[in-house]
Amino acid sequence: MNFDWNRARAFLVTAEEGSLSAAARALGMAQPTLGRQVDALEEELDVVLFERVGRGLVLTPSGLDLLEHVRAMGDAAGRMSLAAAGQSQSIEGPISIAASEIHAAMLLPPVIAKLRALHPGITIEVVASSRASNLRRREADIALRNFAPTEPDLIARKVRDVPARLYATPDYLERIGNPKLPYDLRHAEFISIDGSGMFLKGLNAMGLNLTEANFPILTENYLVMWEYVKRGIGIGVQDGNLGDAEPLVRRVLPDFKPLIFPIWLVAHRELNTSRRVRVVFDMLAEELSKPTGRSAVDET
Amino acid sequence: MNFDWNRARAFLVTAEEGSLSAAARALGMAQPTLGRQVDALEEELDVVLFERVGRGLVLTPSGLDLLEHVRAMGDAAGRMSLAAAGQSQSIEGPISIAASEIHAAMLLPPVIAKLRALHPGITIEVVASSRASNLRRREADIALRNFAPTEPDLIARKVRDVPARLYATPDYLERIGNPKLPYDLRHAEFISIDGSGMFLKGLNAMGLNLTEANFPILTENYLVMWEYVKRGIGIGVQDGNLGDAEPLVRRVLPDFKPLIFPIWLVAHRELNTSRRVRVVFDMLAEELSKPTGRSAVDET
DNA sequence: GCCAATCCATGCATTTATGCATATCACGGC
DNA sequence: GCCGTGATATGCATAAATGCATGGATTGGC
């Protein structure tokens, strides 16, 4: 194992990101540096890892074979990073929180303001991503999710249930005939936020009977969806507390039961030993449990 | 996993070797370099890994916790090194062969001479060690052993059976009354080469009835043992072909059946794909299968 | 209680690696 | 077919890591 381990990391990230430039961005290094490290590793191991073809790199069979092992190194490095962060008992330092765009934009600001006021030494990075962050690879320290985690090495706490309702502008509701029953929505247009069909199934479980034809617009960005709804382009789903507080829109079926989305707070078990992570985790749990918006008793 | 992987390696080797100096020797680096790398890792992870006490270092609980993960990195690095060596199709380059002292000194020289003559581009390192080398950690590319490997990821070939006999100087035999039967050896003194008692059991299985009192001298060095035997200090076990060829000594019980020790040639499965390793492995297998010494038909 | 051996820390010259700017090249859109 | 975008290589000045020599400190042996 007497080769340069940093060069191995350069190889790993390059292979996973697909290009030297992307890997350099991911590692916060310059692209020539990474290129030279990969070259040096090839010379060191006497193996050709990449085939330089055109504007990109493709793994050679040898490279593919070695990639498997360097991935194991990377996994172990990730676990080490987790354990190291868990050992840190300092209240000051960085914390990264992963959440969907809508959670990051709507739920987190007041909590983070309070956190900053109470613990000025804690610096916060918000990772707003549409897909669930991989906590085992330490893409974030703490994550907000809409589902309970299945991985056994994660610890989670359910902080609240969010009632989700359908919203649209009064103008749009007028245009489709002021629906009163789910059946009235059979020709309405919804703005979808996921491509997997889960959104459609959720709505049908609510009593509607929709098909893919009802979803002419797809975006993976929650804020984009909400903007479209506010401009009268279609119907969208929103947290009942937040939607009721938005003057531009109205509930589509005001008296129907909302869909219940749980919000889970998740962290890696290794991080439970870190004082800083615990402080942030506990504060998030407490603050997020408080109802937001104007209608606190909205949940059926 | 965004920390310096070379510093992690420095931590691993330091923890396993027990000191910065020993780790520096193992890695072929200067001791201050390693010390600074460990310091930098501690600062990078914000964790105290070692407690500086007196002239040495002891792991902190945090360090012990992280060591587990960096060991996993090291294991993966070892597998990567193996796979990389296996990918090398160059006939030129280094090969390391592990063997016991006696094998390295007595069996290998003619084979290595022939190998050097046929393939001058291959450079050879002989690792003479008393304990079996760990091929999975790539302490050597090819090993000579006296037992069949049990690990599934090793490939092995039995190259020959070596008849082992007891030898001593005529002078010493005279002194203990020229033994003719195993019973006559009940008070003889043997020079042992292992501390585990396997040697004693092997001799008793041969028909002798010895106790620990028969082994007043212990050395883990085969050549040392053989030197002592040649100087008339006691009885020792030796390859029948080599022992019969030594004019200074005689067989102790000339007509008894020898103990049979197999010689296995072992390599890691990953290395089977390397052309250079195959060449050396096959040549070793062929050359070692030929009988050595003057009595080729000595076996039973 | 002293001496030798061994280990870790520090200062400084040198080698090595990195980053920036830039050249070069390939692919895709119009 | 031309051009823009995004990719990989190269030259050079700078920053960082390394090695050597040395100092300071502790343990074990006599």
CATH for A162-260, among 2.40.50.1070, 1.20.1250.20, 3.60.40.10, 3.40.190.10?
A: 3.40.190.10
> Considering only CA atoms, which of B232, B237, B188 is closest in space to residue B214?
B188
Query: What kind of architecture, by CATH, is found in domain B93-158+263-289?
Result: 3-Layer(aba) Sandwich (3.40)
In the predicted structure, residue A102 carries a pLDDT above the cut 80: no
Looking at chain B, the domain(s) classified CATH 3.40.190.10 span 93-158+263-289, 162-260
pLDDT value for B299: 38
Give the span between the Cα atoms of A63 and A70, in whole angstroms.
Answer: 10
Q: Do A76 and B80 touch (CB under 8 A)?
A: no
Looking at chain A, the domain(s) classified CATH 3.40.190.10 span 93-156+265-289, 162-260
Give the span between the Cα atoms of B41 and B34, in whole angstroms.
Answer: 11
Confidence of residue A171 (pLDDT cuts 50, 70, 90): very high
Confidence of residue A153 (pLDDT cuts 50, 70, 90): confident
* Residue B26 tokens, joined: 């193992």
Residue B268 CB partners (closer than 8 Å, separation 6+): B82, B86, B135, B136, B138, B141, B153, B154, B155
CATH of domain B5-87: 1.10.10.10
Q: Do A5 and B73 touch (CB under 8 A)?
A: yes
Confidence of residue B198 (pLDDT cuts 50, 70, 90): low
More confident position, B297 or B128: B128
Confidence of residue B12 (pLDDT cuts 50, 70, 90): very high
Predicted TM-score (pTM) of the model is: 0.74
Tokens 């280094």 belong to B94
Q: Which residues touch strand D (CB under 7 A)?
A: A 19-22, 31-32, 35-36, 39, 52, 55-57; B 6, 28-30, 32-33, 36-37, 40, 54-55
DSSP structure string for B148-212:
----TTEEEEEEEEEEEEEEE-HHHHHHTT---SGGGGTT--BEES-SSSHHHHHHHHTT----G
| Chain D nucleotides covered by protein, CB below 7 Å | 6-11, 17-21, 24-27
> What's the pLDDT tens digit per position in B82-111?
999 988 788 888 888 888 877 887 788 888
B56 touches strand C (CB under 7 A): yes
Query: What kind of architecture, by CATH, is found in domain A93-156+265-289?
Result: 3-Layer(aba) Sandwich (3.40)
* Residue B156 tokens, joined: 């092995």
In the predicted structure, residue B298 carries a pLDDT above the cut 60: no
Q: In chain A, which residues have their Cβ closer than 8 Å to the Cβ of B83?
A: 65-66, 68-69
Tokens 């407490």 belong to A286
Phi, psi of A171 (to 5 degrees): -60, -45
pLDDT value for A244: 92
The most confident of the ranges A59-68, A84-93, A148-157, B116-125 is A59-68
Nucleotide nearest B50, CA–C1', reads: C8
CA of A184 to C1' of D15 (A): 69
User: Torsion over CA of A268, A272, A274 and A279, rounded to 10 degrees?
Assistant: 100
The separation between the first and the last C-alpha atoms of chain A, rounded to the nearest angstrom, is 61
pLDDT value for B292: 55
Confidence of residue B295 (pLDDT cuts 50, 70, 90): very low
> What's the pLDDT tens digit per position in B18-34?
899 999 999 999 999 99
pLDDT value for B131: 67
pLDDT value for A296: 37
B17 touches strand C (CB under 7 A): no
- Per mean pLDDT, which range of A165-169, A270-274, B16-20 is the poorest? A270-274
Looking at chain A, the domain(s) classified CATH 1.10.10.10 span 5-87
Average pLDDT along chain A:
86
B58 touches strand C (CB under 7 A): no
B234 touches strand C (CB under 7 A): no
> What's the pLDDT tens digit per position in A215-251?
888 776 777 788 889 999 999 988 888 899 999 999 9
> What's the pLDDT tens digit per position in B164-179?
899 999 999 999 999 9
Q: Do B4 and A6 touch (CB under 8 A)?
A: yes
B88: distance to nearest CA of chain A, Å?
6
Give the span between the Cα atoms of A154 and A281, in whole angstroms.
Answer: 13
Nucleotide nearest A24, CA–C1', reads: C19
Confidence of residue A292 (pLDDT cuts 50, 70, 90): low
Do B80 and A118 meet the contact criterion of CB atoms below 8 Å apart? no
The length of chain B in residues reads 300
pLDDT value for B130: 63
Confidence of residue B297 (pLDDT cuts 50, 70, 90): very low
Do B143 and B97 meet the contact criterion of CB atoms below 8 Å apart? yes
Nearest 5 degrees, angle CA A222-CA A227-CA A231? 150
> What's the pLDDT tens digit per position in B147-169?
888 888 888 899 888 888 999 99
**For chain B, the helix, strand and coil percentages under 3-state DSSP, each to the nearest 5:** 45, 20, 35
The length of chain A in residues reads 300
Confidence of residue B204 (pLDDT cuts 50, 70, 90): confident
Q: In chain A, which residues have their Cβ closer than 8 Å to the Cβ of B6?
A: 4-6
Residue A228: CB atoms within 10 Å: 16
Residue B55 CB partners (closer than 8 Å, separation 6+): none
The separation between the first and the last C-alpha atoms of chain B, rounded to the nearest angstrom, is 61
Residue B293 CB partners (closer than 8 Å, separation 6+): B239, B240, B241, B242, B244, B245
- Per mean pLDDT, which range of A172-181, A278-287, B181-190, B208-217 is the poorest? B208-217
In the predicted structure, residue A2 carries a pLDDT above the cut 60: yes
pLDDT value for A196: 63
CA of A54 to C1' of D1 (A): 20
Confidence of residue A255 (pLDDT cuts 50, 70, 90): confident
